[in-house]
Amino acid sequence: MKKRIVLLFLATVVAVLGMQVSFGQSVNRPLTYQSGTKGYPNIVIICADALGISDLGCYGSEIKTPAIDKIAAQGVRFTQFYNSGSATSTRASLMTGQYPHNVGLGYKLFNLGMNGYRGTLNQETPTLAELLKVKAGYQTLMVGRWGLTYGIGKDGPTHSWPTKRGFDSFYGTLALSDNQFNPATLKMGEKPCAALGREFYYMDAIARVAGDFLNDASKSSKPFFLYVSLPGPYMPLQIPTSELRSLNNRYSIGWDQIRKERYQRMLAMHTINQTTKLSPRDSDVPDWAKMGPYARWQAMRMDVYAAQVQAMDRAVGEILDCVQRASVGSDTLIIFLSSSGANGTELPEGFKGALYMSPTTKSGQTVLSGNNPRIPPGSERTYQSYGIPWANVSNTPYRGYAESTYEGSLASPCIISYSRMMTPGRVTHQVGHAIDIIPTILDIIGVAYPASLNGYKTQPLPGMSLKGVFQMQTKPHDPLFWEFKGNIAIRSGKWKLVAQYNPAGEDQREWELYDMEVDRAESNNLVGDYGSVAQELFRNYSSWAKKNNVHAWKEVSERVKMLQKRAAKIGNKE
């Protein structure tokens, strides 16, 4: 009850601040559809949640991922593909081809009354689903986490729900980090949907419903676009009981040894540059030998995480089997990537920060939230994360975690398979980014990005097509930019300028400059030797930030704190 009141209050605060969104009602987008055109490929995009670049077998992991490895064997693996720094940011870029601030998602959860920080996908920018439906007559299907709005339910805007943004069919959750056994915001279309069945597991349900959608799509002559936004392997650490019982204690050798083994396999597979060194163990991660009685719990956290990666791979395999059956006689473009690098969040015992987390199991038992070494992770009664030590492993060989701007956050596995245009089994060092996915797809199907769509003027796409990579071509990428919670980065050619937020003031940031050709582990700061390069990169960043509605994080965070305090105050009164 208290949680519901808080959500209602946030909607009221938004109205008081004059934030221009519609609550509790749909905003109709007048779509005019074209009939499907023969010859267009079917398109499947699969986005994992906070999967580290070294977590897949085809990138060097000890975790078995045969289904995703099969995509890699038939396609091309990118070693320098970038996300937008956080799960919401990347999904925004993936669905719009724009930087997240430019579509209102510079920060999630709240509408802050500032351009760039509306907390929900704006109405003006078309989604990939709308583009494919309107310009090429595709059937559009989505399963999994949406994550591009806030105030789920009657408390927030509905104009950015999947079914309002071009998807014919949707099954999944609107929020992020939900319970895998009892999702709180599960929907079929726009209606609440129960997590039916004693053995319900969200990842498996996504695969099953995707199969149903594809079966229906196969009855039409129109091509289909399927977007699979997976709920894992990001927290909470939860797997079915049968898999929990079969954990093999693989990680009892500790995080240092696992990182070293992954690093060596990545070198052998050429999924990292041969000049890239293994970054030092994070300073917040203790020596494994000093874990003592907590070693078993620590190892089990990674065991459960690995089991989640395998559950994800199993779901991907089931979905691709259905795709194959639905695509008989048609070409299929498959894209697999991750929304961010691994997330190092440590959850304090009694954690209550997941706004839409189901507080109880389906049988009414209280969910024990937070990382408690006395409680084994993985069951439906727990809500834990695997924390900094194992995220450091997942992001091998890089430093940093999701929401920072180091490579551990920004570098994602990305695999693209399209048999009509590529030599299978290749590795490419071409720089790419989530903003490149829409230009690539439009280039492949031969559809130009419109200057306007359904009454809204569009903005030019900042990304580039990666189609040339399929013919083993590479070309320089335009500069890439990031900002999240005051952490910023610029990648231009071989140079990357990085600065993490400093609460003392933005003018107190410590600037770091790295040569990405020889030092992607970001261990040798060259800012003292190449100050003029750093200054030029920062000037470019400042221009980009102004153009893309990026505000100083101090200003943004103050508004966030204001809303949080007001919400807490009304919650306490009730």
pLDDT digits (tens, 9 = 90+) for 549-560: 999 999 999 998
Mean pLDDT confidence for 135-144 = 98
Assign 33 a pLDDT band (cuts: 50, 70, 90). very low
State the pLDDT at residue 19.
33
Could you read off the pLDDT of 473-509 as tens digits, one per residue?
Answer: 999 999 999 999 999 999 999 999 999 999 888 788 8
State the pLDDT at residue 354.
59
**Cα separation, 309 vs 300, whole angstroms:** 14
Is 296's pLDDT higher than 50? yes
Percentage of residues in the chain having pLDDT higher than 90: 78
* Partner residues linked to 414 by β-bridges: 78, 337
Is 41's pLDDT higher than 60? yes
Assign 150 a pLDDT band (cuts: 50, 70, 90). confident
Is 24's pLDDT higher than 70? no
Is 389's pLDDT higher than 90? yes
Torsional sign, CA 459, 462, 464, 465:
negative
**Cα separation, 521 vs 530, whole angstroms:** 18
State the pLDDT at residue 572.
41
Is 31's pLDDT higher than 70? no
State the pLDDT at residue 508.
86
**Cα separation, 534 vs 511, whole angstroms:** 8
**Cα separation, 373 vs 75, whole angstroms:** 42
State the pLDDT at residue 568.
61
What is the CA angle 44-47-49, rounded to 5? Answer: 165
- Three-state secondary structure string covering 466-512: CHHHHCCCCCCCCCEEEEECCEEEEEECCEEEEECCCCCCHHHCCCE
State the pLDDT at residue 191.
94
Exposed/middle/buried for 258, CB within 10 Å: 0-12, 13-18, 19+?
A: buried
Q: What is the pTM of this model?
A: 0.92
Mean pLDDT confidence for 6-16 = 35
Assign 154 a pLDDT band (cuts: 50, 70, 90). low
Mapping DSSP to helix (H, G, I), strand (E, B) and coil, where does residue 116 land? coil
Is 140's pLDDT higher than 90? yes
State the pLDDT at residue 433.
98
State the pLDDT at residue 162.
96
Assign 471 a pLDDT band (cuts: 50, 70, 90). confident
Is 11's pLDDT higher than 50? no
Q: Which of 7-21, 140-154, 236-250, 360-374 is predicted least confidently?
A: 7-21
Q: How many CA atoms lie within 13 A of 66 on its CB side?
A: 4
**Cα separation, 410 vs 401, whole angstroms:** 8
Exposed/middle/buried for 212, CB within 10 Å: 0-12, 13-18, 19+?
A: middle
**How does the average pLDDT of the chain come out, rounded?**
90
State the pLDDT at residue 167.
98
Q: Which of 265-269, 337-341, 358-362 is predicted least confidently?
A: 358-362
State the pLDDT at residue 26.
33
Rounded to whole angstroms, the maximal C-alpha distance in the chain is 64
Q: Do 390 and 255 form a contact (C-beta atoms < 8 A)?
A: yes
Mean pLDDT confidence for 532-555 = 97
Is 198's pLDDT higher than 50? yes
Superfamily of domain 38-345+354-478 in CATH is Alkaline Phosphatase, subunit A (3.40.720.10)
| Greater pLDDT, 426 or 569 | 426
Q: Do 112 and 465 form a contact (C-beta atoms < 8 A)?
A: no
Could you read off the pLDDT of 218-271 as tens digits, one per residue?
Answer: 999 999 999 999 999 999 999 999 888 888 889 999 999 999 999 999 999 999
